[in-house]
Structure 1
Amino acid sequence: MKIHFFLLCVVCGLCVGLYAQSGLQYDIKIKSSNAAVITPKLKMGTSVRPNGESLSYTGNYLLRNGKPWFPVMGEFNYERYNAQQWEQEILAMKAGGVEVISSYIIWIFHETKEGVFDWRGNNDLNRFLALCKKHGMYVWLRIGPWVHAEIKNGGFPDWLMTKNIKQRTNDPAYLNYAGLYFKQIAKQCEGYYFKEDGPIIGVQLENEMNFKNAPEYEHMKTLKKMAIQLGMDVPYYSGFAPGPDNQDEFLYTLGSYPDSPWNTTTKAFIKPVYFIKPLKADDDIGSDLLGKVDANVRNNYPLISAELGAGMQKTYHRRVDVSATDVAANIFTKLAAGLNGFGYFMFHGGMTPLDSANHYGFQESRVSNYPNDMPLLNYDFQAPLGAMGIPAPSFSELKLMNLFVQDYGCQLAETRPYFPAQLKRSMFSNDTVQASVRTKNGAGFIFLSNYQRLVSLPAVNDFQLSLNNGTAVETVPAKPITFPSNHYVIWPYKLDMQSVLLKYATVQPLAIVNNDATKTFVFFRDSIAPEMVFDNTTIEKVGALKGCSWNAKSGTITDDKQEGDFYFEVTNKKNELVKVLVITRVQALQAYKINYGNEKEALILTQALLRQEANDQWSLEAASKNGKMEVKIYPGSDVAVKSIVNAVSCKKVDENNLFSSFIIKASVANKPSVNYSPVTDNNIEAAQSFKDSMLAVFKKSKEFKPLQPGPLYLPTFHSLPNQQLYQSSYSCKPSDGVTDWEVEMHYNGDVLTMYQDNKLVYDQFNYNGICKFRLNYLVKNTAAPILMQVLPAEKQYDIYWGTLEKTVDDQLKAKVKKIDIVPVYRYNVSIEKDVLK
């Protein structure tokens, strides 16, 4: 009898669970009209340019020229990059969809000696601003004075730390020093404010300072007043931390990261940032110093961000390795929750300068009594564009969302998010597709996710979303589907496509290509079968079908091939032509939307990095053994690609009504080579003595932990016990189209350092067994050998190894396994109307 009762309870529980899933988890109630947006009266600066362009805000989103604006901002610490290459990196960020560059101004770099300011070379803020203006990029400066930025003292100069002052307060002595620094920044910015037709649209004061309490809030206001008195008059002032609910001085910006390498744990850290739920910040940012922070989003402020982890830095004790999907899915959930502005940190990595006066560098470390150890140089951050500008897979993955908000952000910003009655609560729940719908007047976009970092989620069968507007219920899609594992998507819902109504589609919006009066709506497909359902009453006819079929009765487009791209045209009731192109996800990852000619647009598909150098002139860059690059262009019948340099050929290899294909190739393939061999160093006693001296310094820190000894090396080479040394030499002869050489090294060990002429040129805490670098960027003399020092881990170390966990025994034996080198080609081309047509 007890057994029967137990079974009955189990069955009832399963039934209740199934009912909860179908009745609550996938049932979303939406409203046919949204509540009015309330705009607070905030004390912002001059917001109109001489040409009439304006920037403003509402209580939910920013405004540009009075229209909703969804900004895409990316962090690039210009001081951490070679100034001679700033321009090409600004263009690379622009190619990735970034339109606002944010950057810390790091005090310790500019005033290492009290009263002596350095704005030369890589510190030249004025020149950086000029380049941003030249290429139409906005700038949001994060002037501190305390910035963090993984720099010792949070960016405060060492000399300031010796003063008997109360830092980060309204102590008059502290404010005096900060004021002198702000005056220097203001001088660098003269002529570059938005009101002067310049790029600077925003200033962030301080960083990670919780200003909910009165003293901190007063300090923030004082810093802002000082900046304004020095001429820093900008449309937006912001803070990056919780503050009073109804303050009127600052925009709030939120952040979220895939992992927390500052966290003290050395175990896998699974975060709930991948939940689709009402918008909140990541409460673990800065938890090493601040503990858990208030993650609530304040009402009636623009819902924008400053630190969405576009990568993840490694600390010595946490070797976090994030994939492109880890990065993008975290940001996707914030978009699904109602975010109205991307702020990527970091979008571009760099290298922290070496401190000539301090052997231990400028980086954050336990020597400087900070809880984390960072590499002396490497600030790659696994960013979309790395420490030397090498594109990571996340560059293309994030570009999918950046292209989407460029064309749909104005519409998206006005929507309100709606969620299922029952939200996912467990990070290990494996039977739930997370969902939200962002709509205005009942139309918008559906967000779906079956992804959680470090948790392998299975596919979910029989998935349908039920959308209830109070008078009618619609299921999307019309028939149940299997939602793939580890997957996330954006689907259009009641999308107005030039007076043609797309009721819903199981393909994702990418971009809109405008040519004269005709628009091409570009979508991309993934592993879910494409289905596009239209309102027949808005359609006059459908034609020019390529690779797809039209069911006039149901108003549905489906594909013919179950793979590949397809195309069709729709004529609306006004007899206007609407074009629709659906490409594959692989093609979408290669997509760029460009302007050419007389305000025409084209879609470019290429695996290369595509930069706009000047009007109708572009460059294509890729690391390639043979130097061959393929470019596909839509619309294929109107656009041509031509090489600007005779030594580089450009040949059209295919043309159809959708795409024209071109192959671009240098006449001579570059053939670099690399040789490396072990180096014997028998000075064991000196090596041990040096290690002991380093540990003696480290042990003076209150943060020192014996099982996490940190980076035991200096800016100059010293032998260390159990090291493996290798000397590498490179044969790299210049040839047409080659700008650099990309080296990929596979190795085992704990820490890798590289030296040329006894000086440290690169370092890496091992996190995935691979080190990539650009040879020309790294060293001045590519012909001179590079000494590589690989140090083994020790079995007792308390380190989170991440993806190396399964091979941790290999890391106990330092070894370079192989080194490959390939040329980096950059071709200058023109993209223009095909005059032969």
Structure 2
Amino acid sequence: MLHLCRVYGTSSLTKHPASSLPHCNTSCFSKGNPMNHTLDLTGFKPKAITPFSITRNDWGVAPDGTAVDFTNYYMTFDGKLFYGVCGEFHYSRMNPSRWDEQLAKMAAGGVNVIATYVFWNHHEEHENQWNFNGRRNIRRFIKLCAKHGLKVIVRLGPFDHGEVRNGGIPDWMYGKPYEVRSVDPGFLDKVRDLYAHVAAQLDGLYFKDGGPIVAAQLDNEYMHSSSPWEMTTGITNEWVPGGHDGFAYVHALRRIAEEEGISVPFYTNTGWGGSPVPDDVLPLWGGYAYRPWLFYAGPGEHPVTDEYVYRNFHSNDCPRGEEFAPTYEPETKPYACCEMGGGMFSSYNYRFVLPMKSVDAMSNIKMASGCNFLGYYMFQGGSNPIGDGIYLNESQLPKISYDFQAALGEFGQTRESYRRMKAVHYFALAFADRLCPLGVAAPEGQESIAPTDMESLRWCVRTDGERGFVFLNNFQDHASMPAKHGESVSVTLASGETVTFDGIGLASDENCILPFNMDLDGVTLTAATAQPVTVIAPAGADHRTFVFLKPDGMDDCWFRFVDGTVHHVPAEAKMETFPASDGRGHTVDIICVSRAKADSMTVVADGTALVFAGDAVSQDAAHPSITNNGAAVYELDGHIIVESTEATVPVTSYPAEFLVEQSVQYKPVSVSPSVQKLSDTRYVIDLPDDLLAADGVADMRLRVRYSGDIGWLWCGSTLVDDNFCNGDVWEIGLKEYVQLLEDHRGQLVLTITPIKEGANVNVESAMAARMENVDGQQAGLESVELQPVYQTVLQAA
């Protein structure tokens, strides 16, 4: 996890006095007045690409000859430009029965790299007693990653943080005659033992063996961050040492890892907070707009952050700040991320419902700001395993739940953020060869916009001087930006020609990417107020189909081609298909879909078809929730699976003949729990028999609404899940507990810790924190329901 505050940046373009600005019309930042915004690329030079040699030649080549390599700006495989989309998934925090389908969902969502922590105390809770079974079976997990074509970064520790007990350091290390996270020989001997056991599990799974493991991270946030020694919490409140040995420690960890057989092409380290990053290690960055660590000492009000302001992170002129203070010249190494906020946990003193649009808005910001490797923490939520007589959480968090409000929830839920991110991920993967080399051109004034400025149009460009993409963002954390209307953007190219985008509008909280001079297989798209998403090659077709989305709030959605042809997309159109030709034999098809339609879309069958399933819109308008009901589509074992909490799911495809069905219909299952109230703080919940017996039901989720401080769900003596109340629905998947429930006759006990008199709880809305003072005790169960999760196989023609 990342503990950050602020960052500022400046453009790599030449600065001019306001009276002579060639880059952006000085009126661009007059507040509240829609107008023309200009960027002058005259004299702009394409990005200088140079080698960045961090891969080991002997370990960076697969058996088929494919080599992994880097330039100073991006990653390559076999010389082909690679845009990394990395999602964090902690194998030991999920029942292994869910691994396969959740990895399939990540692949379907455009993720191509998995990052995972090795939590030392999950594997060696008692000294010299190792456990790599069940949910701790990292070898099986990584093999499943390979099955889904996902590359892997193993975050080795010894310290991880990740909001686990002691940051992953076993309790018994507290009593050793040396300091942890140091170069003391005693500690390094224990690290060697850890790495040796992990290496035995990873043997044969490295890139050089034809496996998916391409990198390993050494420690985490060294010399920057730490976590509580939990055995002292509430008494002396001691913390695991943050470290002070600098490069010597990192070099020692790498030497031990390689000697024990961890044979990765390259190593990574977190770059923020002054962590030491040797020249032969890839620094990784991140960004969090929702920061529970600000409130570890007590509740408060969260400030707005500057995470949603564009800047050029790959410029040597980028000013250093608390979040971004590289010890190297930024233009010499790629700007890559590992901890962009893919969600955020609710801590005891900071509880909020994550605005789901915050996630893809940050993707837009990072991509525009020179990032060619997106990395989310977390992408997949989870549940902490239970230790031997102890819980393995960090004390500020629930003992079991680590849902993180992530794109994919603790029990496999697919959320709005997951559906929205697909568009930007598909774009990065489909057009990596075009996007990766493009430099950053930040219009004058953009990098100094105050986060409190709700009126100025936020925009940035990636370009080579003649072609590229305009990025726009209308999201700001802890605030509400008004919709934009009547805006226009003009970009004067290096050649002197000007491309103008008229009719720009953007709904509140939205973001988008607009192309200019984009080559569509020989057909030049001069500009469009639609976002490119992907390109597919339908079976049997003699040309490809380019897919775009119409951003929500766009005043006029149009496509303008080099021959002067303009195609306008009707405002009410959910999906429009039309051909485009250069008049010389080059023809392509173009699909433009609405934002909601794009959210329901999945690329399938090796990029030859699209499947649209469900409406991807929350069914519960009365309760804004992180648990939307849109369907999920993913491929597993050669089948196309649709998963939904609705009994009827509209399903279409492109080409239309790809699927046999036009909808999926399950026999609705209606089951209800029996609830007995023992007191305001204690309830017995009896579940019906054979929860998963109905045809098509793959899981059953218990949905609980309650008031109080903390919710605890028990089955017998086992704590199944817990929750810090934030006003949202609490969901618990039951399929992994079927046997436990049978053993206890389907009975659960819900206990609620009340909010006590004089206490206050920060239950932040999406906009700003609020304090709630409580008179007397407050606790009560509002509702309990069972929600079936249906799965079926779609039949391709």
TM-score (normalised: structure 2): 0.85
**Cα distance in 2 for residues equivalent to 1:820 and 1:665:** 22
The Cα of 1:585 is off from its aligned counterpart by: 0.7
Residue 527 of structure 1, aligned match among 548, 553, 557:
553
Alpha carbons of structure 1 residues 214 and 503: separation in structure 2 relative to 1, 3 Å: farther
The Cα of 1:378 is off from its aligned counterpart by: 0.5
Residue 174 of structure 2, aligned match among 161, 164, 173:
161
Is the CA contact (8 Å cut-off) linking 2:75 and 2:82 kept in structure 1?
yes
Which residue of structure 2 lines up, in the alignment, with residue 755 of structure 1? 714
Q: Name the stretch that deviates more: 43-52 or 155-164.
A: 43-52
**Cα distance in 2 for residues equivalent to 1:601 and 1:210:** 48
**Cα distance in 1 for residues equivalent to 2:303 and 2:706:** 25
SS at structure 2 position matched to 1:263 = helix
Alpha carbons of structure 1 residues 189 and 505: separation in structure 2 relative to 1, 3 Å: same
Is the CA contact (8 Å cut-off) linking 2:548 and 2:591 kept in structure 1?
yes
Is the CA contact (8 Å cut-off) linking 2:671 and 2:786 kept in structure 1?
yes
**Cα distance in 2 for residues equivalent to 1:676 and 1:118:** 39
The Cα of 1:301 is off from its aligned counterpart by: 1.2
Which residue of structure 2 lines up, in the alignment, with residue 219 of structure 1? 249
**Cα distance in 1 for residues equivalent to 2:307 and 2:498:** 29
Structure 1 letter corresponding to 2:586 = E
SS at structure 2 position matched to 1:136 = coil
CA offset digits 1:145-183 (Å, max 9, x no partner): 111111122111111121011221211111000001100
Alpha carbons of structure 1 residues 758 and 72: separation in structure 2 relative to 1, 3 Å: same
State how 1:582-597 maps to structure 2 within 5 Å.
582-595=592-605
Which residue of structure 1 lines up, in the alignment, with residue 288 of structure 2? 257
Alpha carbons of structure 1 residues 671 and 623: separation in structure 2 relative to 1, 3 Å: same
The Cα of 1:827 is off from its aligned counterpart by: 0.7
Is the CA contact (8 Å cut-off) linking 2:526 and 2:562 kept in structure 1?
no
Which residue of structure 2 lines up, in the alignment, with residue 746 of structure 1? 705
Residue 813 of structure 1, aligned match among 773, 778, 793:
778
Which residue of structure 2 lines up, in the alignment, with residue 184 of structure 1? 197
> In the alignment, is residue 64 of structure 1 matched against residue 98 of structure 2?
no
CA offset digits 1:477-508 (Å, max 9, x no partner): 2x454443332111111111111111111111
Is the CA contact (8 Å cut-off) linking 1:740 and 1:775 kept in structure 2?
yes
Which residue of structure 2 lines up, in the alignment, with residue 490 of structure 1? 513
> In the alignment, is residue 406 of structure 1 matched against residue 429 of structure 2?
yes
Which residue of structure 2 lines up, in the alignment, with residue 640 of structure 1? 659
Structure 2 letter corresponding to 1:222 = A
> In the alignment, is residue 37 of structure 1 matched against residue 67 of structure 2?
no
The Cα of 1:735 is off from its aligned counterpart by: 1.4
Structure 1 letter corresponding to 2:669 = N
Is the CA contact (8 Å cut-off) linking 1:762 and 1:778 kept in structure 2?
no
> In the alignment, is residue 357 of structure 1 matched against residue 369 of structure 2?
no
Structure 2 letter corresponding to 1:50 = P
Which residue of structure 1 lines up, in the alignment, with residue 665 of structure 2? 665
Alpha carbons of structure 1 residues 792 and 89: separation in structure 2 relative to 1, 3 Å: same
> In the alignment, is residue 678 of structure 1 matched against residue 708 of structure 2?
no
Residue 342 of structure 2, aligned match among 294, 307, 310:
310
**Cα distance in 2 for residues equivalent to 1:801 and 1:560:** 41
**Cα distance in 1 for residues equivalent to 2:243 and 2:78:** 35
Which residue of structure 2 lines up, in the alignment, with residue 393 of structure 1? 416
The Cα of 1:433 is off from its aligned counterpart by: 0.8
Is the CA contact (8 Å cut-off) linking 2:504 and 2:529 kept in structure 1?
no
> In the alignment, is residue 47 of structure 1 matched against residue 45 of structure 2?
no
State how 1:215-614 maps to structure 2 within 5 Å.
215-242=245-272, 247-264=278-295, 266-279=300-313, 294=325, 298-358=330-390, 361-365=391-395, 373-423=396-446, 424-470=448-494, 472=496, 474=498, 476-477=500-501, 479-515=502-538, 516-525=541-550, 526-537=552-563, 554-560=564-570, 562-595=572-605, 600-606=608-614, 607-614=630-637
**Cα distance in 2 for residues equivalent to 1:415 and 1:443:** 9
Structure 1 letter corresponding to 2:640 = W
Alpha carbons of structure 1 residues 91 and 731: separation in structure 2 relative to 1, 3 Å: same
Which residue of structure 2 lines up, in the alignment, with residue 801 of structure 1? 763
SS at structure 2 position matched to 1:762 = strand
SS at structure 2 position matched to 1:267 = coil
Which residue of structure 1 lines up, in the alignment, with residue 642 of structure 2? 620
**Cα distance in 1 for residues equivalent to 2:394 and 2:595:** 39
The Cα of 1:298 is off from its aligned counterpart by: 3.0
Which residue of structure 2 lines up, in the alignment, with residue 202 of structure 1? 215
**Cα distance in 2 for residues equivalent to 1:295 and 1:40:** 16
Is the CA contact (8 Å cut-off) linking 2:109 and 2:422 kept in structure 1?
yes
Is the CA contact (8 Å cut-off) linking 1:259 and 1:269 kept in structure 2?
no
Is the CA contact (8 Å cut-off) linking 1:73 and 1:342 kept in structure 2?
yes
Q: Name the stretch that deviates more: 228-237 or 306-315.
A: 228-237
Bigger Rg over Cα? 1
**Cα distance in 1 for residues equivalent to 2:34 and 2:750:** 60
Is the CA contact (8 Å cut-off) linking 1:37 and 1:58 kept in structure 2?
yes
Alpha carbons of structure 1 residues 20 and 315: separation in structure 2 relative to 1, 3 Å: closer
The Cα of 1:276 is off from its aligned counterpart by: 1.3
**Cα distance in 1 for residues equivalent to 2:603 and 2:695:** 28
Alpha carbons of structure 1 residues 107 and 277: separation in structure 2 relative to 1, 3 Å: same
Is the CA contact (8 Å cut-off) linking 1:24 and 1:420 kept in structure 2?
no
Alpha carbons of structure 1 residues 252 and 18: separation in structure 2 relative to 1, 3 Å: same
Alpha carbons of structure 1 residues 778 and 333: separation in structure 2 relative to 1, 3 Å: farther
Q: Which structure is richer in relative contact order (CA contacts within 8 A, separation 6 or more)?
A: 2
SS at structure 2 position matched to 1:801 = strand
**Cα distance in 2 for residues equivalent to 1:24 and 1:278:** 24
Which residue of structure 2 lines up, in the alignment, with residue 27 of structure 1? 38
**Cα distance in 2 for residues equivalent to 1:244 and 1:807:** 36
Pairwise CA RMSD: 2.8
Alpha carbons of structure 1 residues 408 and 87: separation in structure 2 relative to 1, 3 Å: same
Is the CA contact (8 Å cut-off) linking 1:593 and 1:604 kept in structure 2?
no
Structure 1 letter corresponding to 2:734 = L
The Cα of 1:32 is off from its aligned counterpart by: 5.4
**Cα distance in 1 for residues equivalent to 2:77 and 2:757:** 57
Residue 140 of structure 1, aligned match among 153, 162, 167:
153
Structure 1 letter corresponding to 2:129 = V
Alpha carbons of structure 1 residues 32 and 743: separation in structure 2 relative to 1, 3 Å: same
Unaligned 5+ residue runs, structure 1? 1-15, 282-286, 366-372, 538-553, 642-651, 653-661, 681-722
User: Number of residue pairs matched?
Assistant: 716
**Cα distance in 2 for residues equivalent to 1:490 and 1:808:** 40
Alpha carbons of structure 1 residues 347 and 87: separation in structure 2 relative to 1, 3 Å: same
SS at structure 2 position matched to 1:414 = coil
CA offset digits 1:88-131 (Å, max 9, x no partner): 22112112211111100000011111111111111111111222
Is the CA contact (8 Å cut-off) linking 1:726 and 1:787 kept in structure 2?
yes
> In the alignment, is residue 728 of structure 1 matched against residue 728 of structure 2?
no
Percent same amino acid among aligned pairs? 24
TM-score (normalised: structure 1): 0.81
Alpha carbons of structure 1 residues 745 and 214: separation in structure 2 relative to 1, 3 Å: closer
Is the CA contact (8 Å cut-off) linking 2:759 and 2:774 kept in structure 1?
no
SS at structure 2 position matched to 1:485 = coil
The Cα of 1:665 is off from its aligned counterpart by: 2.2
Q: Name the stretch that deviates more: 58-67 or 788-797.
A: 788-797
The Cα of 1:17 is off from its aligned counterpart by: 7.9
Which residue of structure 2 lines up, in the alignment, with residue 785 of structure 1? 747
Is the CA contact (8 Å cut-off) linking 1:74 and 1:344 kept in structure 2?
yes
Structure 1 letter corresponding to 2:490 = S
